[in-house]
Amino acid sequence: MSSSSSSKTSPPPTRRCPPCCNKRARMRRVPVQATLEDFFKALRGSDLEIHLNAQVDAARAVELVGWSDRALLKSALGTTLAKTTVDRALFDEAFDHFFRFSSFENLAAPGGAVRPGVQPGADATPAQDPPEQSPKNQTATGSGGPGGCQGSGGQALSQLLLSGDSAALAKRMQEAAREVGLTDIWFFTQKGFYTQKIQQAMGLELLDREISDAKRQTLAPERAKELELARKKLFEEVRNFVERKLALFGTAPTRQLHDDFLQTQKLSNIEKRDFARMHVIVSKIAKRLADRHSRRKKQRVRGQLDFRKTLRKNAAYDGVMFETFWRSKVVDRPRVVAICDVSGSVRQYARFLLLFLHSLGEQVSDVRSFAFTNHLVDVSDTFELLPVEQAVDKVMQAVGGSGTDYGQTLLDIEEQLLGDIDRRTTVLILGDARNNRGEAHVEVMKQLYERARRVIWLNPEPTSFWGLGDSEMKRYAPYCHIARECNSLTHLESTLDALLRTHSASA
């Protein structure tokens, strides 16, 4: 009796789903967050910086507006992620590209829900965030066919292909792409790998098995042909899908690798075709330096308590310190005199140093720029009248000579500049110090060293070359507060960062 009652109350055995089904079920529970993360990656690929706070605001905005209204979604995300006019243009382009519905894989909404009535090539809006599927429905739909793991709606891949259900195929492809991590694609050489992985995640192995079985059956030759044609179509669609995702997600890492390479390359080896990209990199680095040092200046520096001033101001309160006064440091922006050799290969280094200095904007209160080969030429007015990139090009073309003469240039400095050099001025010299066996006039360097706040000499040649041949660097170096090798953007950034930091600390 007890045994029969226990058999009646015991629950019926449940069928366990394979691990791949559980993985897909977990993926369906967080579709919106995954879509937003993919979109953030696409924005970074468009050179749009997305900070963590902006990402949090964007996620909250999506919770408020939902996915049903494309225009509203675009407006909400744009408001939280794009802070300037330039950023907004980048955002609009990335949004239109990311939420583009041009073939069957894009007919599904970001969350995996299908938007009914959408045809390939139509401009659609993301569907509402779908409700999570209940365990009961998952059991009913997730066990069709051999193996019990058929993907979307429990249908085998062959059934989806032959039925022409574009929306279901779209959903299956998006789930497979997320499962294999397609957003991590970097290089065009990975297209074949991801194309194959996505097809396998969609059920390619079972499809190939069905094709083989149909070929062996003499009564089903037409089915074998249909399946083979559908397989070819699937390959084309998946490959096109991967190529579009490569253009969307692979641009940023590839560009970043190239940018990292350019930043460490000797500036004399930079090819002309990379000048435009180098100017963009310089602008980004200058903006980063400006942001870093402007934050430092905005921080309130209290220092030590000023007892005398505090007691004097609080005498009316019987010595009770209602108001406290602190000794603070006055942070003064540096004045820079930049003197650049523009002869031969040194010209490239001068180009980017001048570009750096004049991109720093408010962080450097006054920049006077001079260029020379054998005579000193004031080029500051050129930078005031023209955009910095055009000014650099004009200076490079205008200033020239038959040979470098550092001695004569130093005499020009003594005549034109020495009276204006004071304890607030940083003299920044860029050159290789090769003087063609001329007179060095080291005494002028000594006067600069005594009058200026700092004399910084940046030499593009390795220190092992200093003093060899016609190089006068070892004679000039004792009269420099800083003398260092500098032949890449990385070197220039560290030098200018140190210039701004030490000036703020010692002001």
> What pLDDT score was predicted for residue 67?
82
Check if the beta carbon of residue 348 is closer than 8 Å to that of residue 354.
no
Percentage, residues of the chain above pLDDT 90: 10
- Where do we find the tokens 């950023």? 87
- Where do we find the tokens 């050489």? 189
CA distance 384 to 172: 58
Which tokens hold the place of 72? Answer: 């509203």
Angle, helix 52-65 to helix 70-81, in steps of 10 degrees: 160
CA distance 490 to 503: 20
- Per-residue pLDDT band for 2 (boundaries 50, 70, 90) equals very low
> What pLDDT score was predicted for residue 145?
38
Shared domain check, 494 and 355: yes
Cα–Cα distance list, 197 to 84, 154, 188, 224 (Å): 39, 20, 15, 23
CATH of the domain at 369: 3.40.50.410
Please state the rounded mean pLDDT for residues 55-82: 88
What is the overall mean pLDDT for the chain? 74
> What pLDDT score was predicted for residue 217?
78
Check if the beta carbon of residue 377 is closer than 8 Å to that of residue 399.
yes
- Per-residue pLDDT band for 503 (boundaries 50, 70, 90) equals low
Sign of the dihedral through C-alpha 94, 96, 99, 101: negative
Kindly report the backbone phi and psi dihedral angles of residue 463, in degrees, each rounded to the nearest multiple of 5, phi listed first: -60, -25
Residues 381-407 have pLDDT tens digits of 887 788 777 887 788 777 765 678 899
* Highest mean pLDDT of the ranges 207-211, 306-310, 355-359, 405-409: 405-409
- Where do we find the tokens 């009646």? 8
Which tokens hold the place of 32? Answer: 């919106």
Shared domain check, 418 and 309: no
Residue 11 domain flag: no
Shared domain check, 211 and 88: no
> What pLDDT score was predicted for residue 151?
44
Could you tell me the end-to-end alpha-carbon distance of the chain, in angstroms, rounded to an integer?
A: 95
Please state the rounded mean pLDDT for residues 63-78: 88
Shared domain check, 364 and 315: no
Q: What is the pTM of this model?
A: 0.54
pLDDT at 120 > cutoff 70: no
> What pLDDT score was predicted for residue 459?
92
Please state the rounded mean pLDDT for residues 93-113: 56
Check if the beta carbon of residue 490 is closer than 8 Å to that of residue 279.
no
pLDDT at 299 > cutoff 80: no
Angle, helix 166-180 to helix 221-249, in steps of 10 degrees: 50
Shared domain check, 169 and 46: no
- Per-residue pLDDT band for 131 (boundaries 50, 70, 90) equals very low
3-state secondary structure of 99: coil
CA distance 16 to 325: 72
Check if the beta carbon of residue 167 is closer than 8 Å to that of residue 108.
yes
pLDDT at 447 > cutoff 90: yes
Residue 23 domain flag: no
Which tokens hold the place of 486? Answer: 């500098």
Across-strand partners of 366?
335
Shared domain check, 182 and 94: no
Cα–Cα distance list, 362 to 332, 340, 428, 430 (Å): 11, 21, 18, 22
Please state the rounded mean pLDDT for residues 360-367: 68
Which tokens hold the place of 264? Answer: 């460490």
Check if the beta carbon of residue 186 is closer than 8 Å to that of residue 245.
no
Shared domain check, 394 and 324: no
Angle, helix 346-359 to helix 388-398, in steps of 10 degrees: 150
Strand locations in 333-401, DSSP E? 335-341, 366-372, 376-378
pLDDT at 478 > cutoff 90: yes
Shared domain check, 421 and 433: yes
Shared domain check, 403 and 475: yes
Residues 208-219 have pLDDT tens digits of 888 888 888 766
- Per-residue pLDDT band for 25 (boundaries 50, 70, 90) equals very low
Residue 119 domain flag: no
From the list 46, 32, 40, 37, the residue with the least C-alpha distance to 247 is 46
List the helix and strand counts (H, then E) for the chain.
Answer: 22, 6
Q: Which of 313-327, 338-352, 429-443, 460-474 has the lowest mean pLDDT?
A: 313-327
Which tokens hold the place of 437? Answer: 């066996």
Enclosing domain of residue 36: 32-100
Number of domains in the chain: 4
CA distance 315 to 326: 17
Shared domain check, 204 and 159: yes
3-state secondary structure of 378: strand
Q: Which residue has the higher pLDDT, 104 or 323?
A: 323
* Highest mean pLDDT of the ranges 119-123, 370-374, 389-393, 401-405: 370-374
Residue 4 domain flag: no
pLDDT at 121 > cutoff 80: no
Number of other CB atoms surrounding residue 292 within 10 Å: 13
- Per-residue pLDDT band for 112 (boundaries 50, 70, 90) equals very low
Q: Which of 64-68, 92-96, 221-225, 297-301 has the lowest mean pLDDT?
A: 297-301
Residue 376 domain flag: yes
Residue 260 domain flag: no
Which tokens hold the place of 359? Answer: 């991109």
Cα-Cα-Cα-Cα dihedral of 240, 46, 393, 334, to 10°? -160
Q: Which of 38-47, 141-150, 441-450 has the lowest mean pLDDT?
A: 141-150
Which tokens hold the place of 66? Answer: 């939902």
- Per-residue pLDDT band for 250 (boundaries 50, 70, 90) equals low
CA distance 17 to 148: 7
Please state the rounded mean pLDDT for residues 442-453: 93
In the DSSP assignment, the letter for residue 30 is S
